[in-house]
Amino acid sequence: MQMDDALSLVTNVGFPAGLCFILLRHILHTMEEKLDKLDLSLHELIQVIQDLNDNNSSSSKSSKPDE
């Protein structure tokens, strides 16, 4: 948001409402970044769990004696 946009917003809707819009935009932007990081971490965790599960499955199959 440019300074001209912020000034126009304040003059059109008033200072308290303009400040609320600016703060809401800032909060949503920071939350979006944090949610993106959380999503990436969850995908990495899922991948690690799948890899561990695959390794565990393959090692348990190879450790079983032949009948």
Per-residue pLDDT tens listing for the chain (67 residues)? 678 887 887 788 888 888 888 899 999 999 999 999 999 999 999 999 999 999 988 877 766 555 5
User: Given this model, what pLDDT does residue 11 score?
Assistant: 82
Q: Is 66 domain-assigned?
A: no
Q: Could you say which DSSP state residue 67 is in?
A: -
Domain count, the chain: 1
Pair 1, 21: CB distance under 8 Å: no
- 10: tokens are 């304040």
Pair 22, 6: CB distance under 8 Å: yes
User: Given this model, what pLDDT does residue 65 score?
Assistant: 58
Domain that holds residue 24: 3-52
Q: Is 58 domain-assigned?
A: no
User: Given this model, what pLDDT does residue 9 score?
Assistant: 77
Q: Is 41 domain-assigned?
A: yes
